[in-house]
Structure formats: C-alpha cells, structure tokens
C-alpha cells in the first residue's frame, strides 16, 4: 500500500477527537485613575477580560477565546476572536502553552492553547461583541501570602500561594493559586493549582503563567517596547520595566543598559511636567543581549 492509498482509506474516527480552543492573555500598562487630582496617576499592569454571554460560566469574566475552526490556524483563530469580541486587531501575540486537563471545560474534552498579547492601550479602543456582554481592562495585583522552600538531592521544591486580584471601576475579581516550582537537575518544572477563582474555566492558571513568562522575557528581549507608544521618554520606559520586573531600577544603570536600544529624537514631551523631557524611539537595529 502506498502512502496515498493509506491516507485515502484512513479512518479519521479511529481516535477520540477533542475540541480545540485558543485563549488570549492581552496585557497593557495604563494610568490608574485616582480621586486626588493633586497626585499624578500611577501606572499599572492590566489584562483584558470579557464577560461571557453564554453558558457555561454565563456572566463570568474570562479571557477572550474561541473554538478553532476546521480550516483555520491557531493564529487565525486568535485574531478572529479578538476582533469579534473586543474590536482589537493586529497586535503583538506569541504562543505560550497548551492546557489539556480533561475536566478543564464542563462541556466536553477541550484542549486550549494560550497566547500572550501586548498592546499600547492609547491606540486601542475596545468594545464587546460576539458571545460577550462586556470587555474591560482589569488592574492586576499579586500578593504572596504563603511561601516555603525545601531542598532535596535533585534541587529544590518551592511552594507559594498567591492572591490574584483583578479590579476595574465596578468590579473586583478574587483568585488564589498555589504555584509549585521544582528544580530537578537544573531544569525547572512549574505546577499550578487553583485554590479559588472567580474567573471562568482555568483562566487564572493561564494568567499567572503569562505573567511569569512576561517577567522572564523582559530581561533579555525587547518585548517591553510593545507596550510603548512610538515616541516615549526614558522615564516612562523605566516605569514600564519596573512594573514588569516588580522592582525599582537605578536610573543610571537602567539608562546605561538600554542606551543602544533607543534612538534620541529632536522632540520633547511637553506634558512631562515643569521640565520638558526628550523623546526617544525604539532602535529596530538593536541586537539582542542580556538586559
């Protein structure tokens, strides 16, 4: 039998067919509105959520996602979902991970592949559509409430319980996960267990995974620039790095390390305060190195 004959007579029902979906974790950094007009707004990491209009998890907030159609790629499905449900298109996206717990979806066996997106929200005007009732940016707050580490002959096991609070103007979504990081012969393995979640499905696991990936990638790639406008001040760029890394950076060290990643323009940010600040653009010819 030739391969052509084999494929012609192949029984596609020979193996179980699970459904396949894609889900998007889209981040931005926006100014958080404050009531005290005397204070400057503080920048916060935010994630895009949509409110489901259908069962299961009707009226629950979730990550934007969709079932993959028979003749489309995962990337095409992600773009279609974001456009239909949030009016968002042509943004930076990268594939993260596949989620295959047999019970992750109460309808049937559904395997999902998650994608991380980054946008400058100043150029994005979201609105809900399709199978969603609402779309909104939620500020992310992470609080480590319990942590322990044990060393063993292979490396170590670190357990951490994390409260994940998601908040917009009207709602607060509470979640708690347990993250186990095990180092075995130099390789790190990560497990995540949902202890409590007000998000639909297992989307809080996707979210914490994406946050961890984002923090790691900002150290050695130009991924942070996807959150910036075309022209920016170095102060605002440093703020973005500090938010993503979760720590304060020394101004002199930061500017030395990003010196070759940016190009100075002849323009100034007139809204930067009492002293206008020089505007910069990303150097597209920059060669990747450790940040």
Q: Among positive and negative, which fits the CA dihedral 251, 142, 199, 72?
A: positive
Residues 94 and 207 in one domain: yes
Mean pLDDT, residues 70-81: 95
Assigned domain for 30 exists: yes
Buried/exposed code over 89-108 (b: 16+ C-beta within 10 A; e: otherwise): eebebeebeebeeeebbeee
Q: How sure is the predictor about 243, in pLDDT bands with cuts at 50, 70 and 90? A: very high
Residue 155 has pLDDT above 90, yes or no: no
Residue 102 has pLDDT above 80, yes or no: yes
Which is higher by pLDDT, 86 or 166? Answer: 166
User: What's the confidence (pLDDT) of residue 187?
Assistant: 85
SS3 label, residue 191: strand
d(CA 206, CA 36): 35
Assigned domain for 166 exists: no
Residues 208 and 260 in one domain: no
Most confident of 152-156, 198-202, 223-227: 198-202
Residues 209 and 252 in one domain: no
pTM confidence score: 0.89
SS3 label, residue 54: coil
Which residues constitute the domain of residue 77?
19-139+199-217
Residue 260 DSSP symbol: G
Q: How sure is the predictor about 268, in pLDDT bands with cuts at 50, 70 and 90? A: confident
Residues 226 and 92 sit within 8 Å (Cβ to Cβ): yes
User: What's the confidence (pLDDT) of residue 82?
Assistant: 92
Residues 91 and 203 in one domain: yes
Assigned domain for 13 exists: no
SS3 label, residue 28: strand
Asked which of 172, 188, 217 is the last residue of a domain, the reply is 217
CA angle 278, 248, 138 (to 5 degrees): 85
Assigned domain for 254 exists: yes
Residues 81 and 208 in one domain: yes
User: What's the confidence (pLDDT) of residue 22?
Assistant: 98
Assigned domain for 43 exists: yes
Residues 239 and 204 in one domain: no
d(CA 207, CA 63): 9
Residues 42 and 92 in one domain: yes
CA angle 137, 143, 148 (to 5 degrees): 145
Residues 123 and 227 sit within 8 Å (Cβ to Cβ): no
Assigned domain for 160 exists: no
Residues 135 and 81 in one domain: yes
**pLDDT single digits (tens) 42-75:** 789 999 999 999 999 999 999 999 999 999 999 9
Residue 91 has pLDDT above 60, yes or no: yes
Residues 28 and 83 in one domain: yes
User: What's the confidence (pLDDT) of residue 206?
Assistant: 97
User: What's the confidence (pLDDT) of residue 185?
Assistant: 79
Mean pLDDT over each residue of the chain, to the nearest integer: 89
Residue (of 79, 60, 56, 58) closest to 68 by Cα position: 79
User: What's the confidence (pLDDT) of residue 51?
Assistant: 94
Comparing 26-40, 117-131, 213-227, the range with the smallest average pLDDT is 26-40
User: What's the confidence (pLDDT) of residue 290?
Assistant: 46
Residues 38 and 61 in one domain: yes
Residue 291 has pLDDT above 50, yes or no: no
Question: Domain of 246: which CATH number?
Answer: 1.10.10.10
Residues 31 and 101 in one domain: yes
Residues 66 and 112 in one domain: yes
Q: How many domains are there within the chain? A: 2
Residue 264 has pLDDT above 80, yes or no: yes
End-to-end CA distance of the chain: 56
User: What's the confidence (pLDDT) of residue 56?
Assistant: 95
d(CA 61, CA 57): 8
Question: Domain of 212: which CATH number?
Answer: 3.90.79.10
Residue 238 has pLDDT above 90, yes or no: yes
**pLDDT single digits (tens) 19-31:** 999 999 999 998 7
């Amino acid at each position: 039998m030739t391969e052509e004959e084999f494929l012609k007579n192949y029984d596609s029902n020979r193996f179980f067919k699970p459904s396949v979906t894609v889900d998007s974790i889209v981040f931005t950094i926006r100014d958080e509105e404050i009531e005290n007009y005397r204070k400057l707004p503080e920048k916060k990491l935010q994630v895009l959520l949509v409110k489901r209009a259908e069962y299961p998890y009707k009226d629950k907030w979730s990550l934007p996602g969709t079932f993959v159609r028979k003749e489309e790629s995962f990337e095409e499905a992600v773009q279609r979902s974001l456009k239909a449900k949030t009016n968002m298109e042509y943004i930076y996206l990268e594939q993260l991970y596949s989620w295959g717990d047999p019970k992750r979806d109460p309808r049937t066996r559904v395997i999902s592949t998650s994608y991380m997106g980054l946008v400058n929200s100043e150029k994005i005007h979201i609105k809900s559509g399709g199978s969603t009732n609402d779309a909104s940016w939620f500020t992310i707050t992470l609080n480590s409430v319990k942590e322990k580490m044990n060393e063993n002959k292979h490396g170590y096991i670190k357990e951490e319980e994390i409260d994940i609070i998601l908040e917009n103007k009207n709602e607060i979504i509470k979640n708690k996960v347990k993250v186990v990081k095990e180092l075995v012969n130099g390789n790190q393995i990560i497990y995540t267990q949902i202890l409590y979640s007000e998000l639909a499905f297992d989307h809080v696991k996707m979210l914490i995974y994406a946050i961890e990936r984002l923090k790691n990638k900002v150290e050695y790639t130009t991924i942070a620039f996807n959150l910036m406008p075309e022209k920016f001040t170095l102060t605002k760029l440093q703020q973005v790095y500090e938010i993503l890394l979760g720590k304060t950076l020394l101004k002199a060290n930061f500017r030395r390390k990003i010196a070759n990643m940016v190009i100075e323009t002849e323009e100034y940010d007139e809204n930067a305060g009492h002293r206008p600040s020089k505007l910069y653009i990303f150097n597209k010819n920059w060669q990747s190195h450790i940040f």
